[in-house]
Structure 1
Amino acid sequence: MLQKIIVSNCASAKFLELLENENIKYIKSLNNEKFNRNYNDHVDLSILKIDDDIYIEKSVYNYYREYLSEFNLKKIDVSYFKNGETVLNIAKNSKYFFHNEKFTTKEIFENLKLKRKYIKINQGYSNCSMICFENHIITSDEGVYKTLKAQNINVELVTTEGIVLNGYKKGFIGGTCGFIFDDILLFYGDVTKYRDYDIIKRIADEENVKILYPKDETFVDLGGIISLWR
């Protein structure tokens, strides 16, 4: 396996060792000083990949440009938004994207609409709150769950308990992981320790997705992992 991904600079040594053992090349995130210091290392607040385009928040653009010169890069300034942290934090798969158009730019919204159906939700931190398989969605947000259920989308609700997020009592399920290929879901921590692991495992098996994780590591929310392939 040869892959390149972007991960939090707070990821554990055991997690990084797993990546090296699996021959997964990685880029560590740069803290974005515009965002909350408890989670400004989370890459899914500063970067959004839409097919061949990669949107990068202005404050960290020069850092990532050094690593991503082969891609079509777009610089985004989120300062004009009431909550700039939500602009790039969009959940998606090949069929749908989940967000609220008022939380992002018109360009990003229209780009996503080219190949995906828009599902409006109220949660601004969409990617943090969801794991988007191709045919199933897992969310830790009750509002998202109710919205998707009403639209007949296959969705499962899981607990926030046991998800560690710096500075908070609980984290979000989408921030614990990321797809690095269509058939590999990578977690920062040991997902088998999570109370609703059985739900994740069942859906992963149904979707023929392999779960990859460092054993005996804290189940932690460090922001969604971004794959440069997927």
Structure 2
Amino acid sequence: MMLMTIIPNLPEKNPEIFIINKFADESMFKSTNARIIKGEKVQNLTAPTDTHIDMQFVHLGGNKFVCEKSLYPYYKAVLGEKFDIVCGETALESHYPGDIAYNIARVGRFVIHNFKYTDSVIKKYISDNNLVCVNVSQGYAKCNVCVADENSVITEDRGIFNACEKHGIDCLLIRSGYVSLKGYKNGFIGGASVKINKNTLAFFGEIENHPDFEKINDFLNTRSIKSVSLKKGALCDIGSAVVI
């Protein structure tokens, strides 16, 4: 298998594989003709985030991935020997900040997270590959970051917006809310989206109904990116997806 995604979160072409929330609707990805791999549940977390991919599985780069400690046997089995699956050092805990170790946002050469709590395997990869750390107080960085391209993101989090500006990352700040997540007041735009090829950003729900859609659309258009809605109804935070 030739991996389509070299830089995490930024596939050049339609991915060969999507790794998604085990309870997500597979039909959303039908048009991509990709293989669907369902994630598993992290027993120490609570629903619904216990099955969110952005809480448990990280594409480090190229063929290398790291997963939550308890799920290493699962991901090693379902992805096989063609992928370099690394076991993280952190076993997640049910309460913040014990649940955020893998919730990093990789944006080109930048990595956004609260690095006080980042898993040590991820920290080593960042250091070994000279990636730039963008430290934020928001622990759920990947949940809160919708990656548009190597230097552009969308977020509802003011702290992430300010940190991105300081590092020269183009960042669109939109209103919080308008993304559903069962059991919570709202979800986040990062968990409700995934890049599916160089020029297409997909949303789990109708992005056209977001009150800031015009701003979002303009931001994407200037980068030659189009938005697509993979399902009808409200935007839904499913924990994004990992594309390979």
TM > 0.5 fold call = yes
Q: 1:109 maps to which residue?
A: 123
Please give the residue correspondences for 1:70-219 in structure 2 after superposition, counting only pairs within 5 Å: 70-79=82-91, 83-113=97-127, 114-133=129-148, 134-219=150-235
| Counterpart contact for 1:140–1:157, Cα < 8 Å | yes
Q: 1:219 to 1:95 in 2, by over 3 A?
A: same
Which residue, 49, 58, 62 being the options, matches 1:39? Answer: 49
Q: Report the equivalent of 1:3.
A: 16
Paired residue secondary structure (2:142): helix
Give the direction of change, closer, same or farther, for the CA distance of 1:11–1:163 in structure 2 (3 Å limit).
Answer: same
Q: Deviations over 1:105-136 (max 9, x none)?
A: 33311312414211111111110011122232
Q: How far apart are the structure 2 equivalents of 1:2 and 1:130? A: 20
Which structure 1 segments of 5+ residues have no match?
Answer: none
SS of residue in 1 equivalent to 2:65? strand
**Residues 166, 77 of structure 1: alpha-carbon distance in 2 compared, 3 angstrom cutoff:** farther
Please give the alpha-carbon distance, in whole angstroms, between the structure 1 residues aligned to 2:231 and 2:145: 23
67-76 or 111-120, larger mean C-alpha shift: 111-120
1-side partners of 2:216 and 2:24: how far apart?
21
Residue matched to 2:65: 54
Per the alignment, residue 66 of structure 1 pairs with 77
> How many residues are treated as equivalent by the alignment?
225
Helix, strand or coil at the partner of 1:66: helix
Percent identity between matched residues is: 24
Q: For residues 151 and 76 of structure 1, what CA distance do their matches in structure 2 show?
A: 28
| Aligned-pair CA distance for 1:191 | 1.3
* Unpaired stretches in structure 2, ≥5 consecutive residues: 1-13
Q: Are the equivalent residues in 1 in contact too, given 2:178–2:234 (CA < 8 A)?
A: no
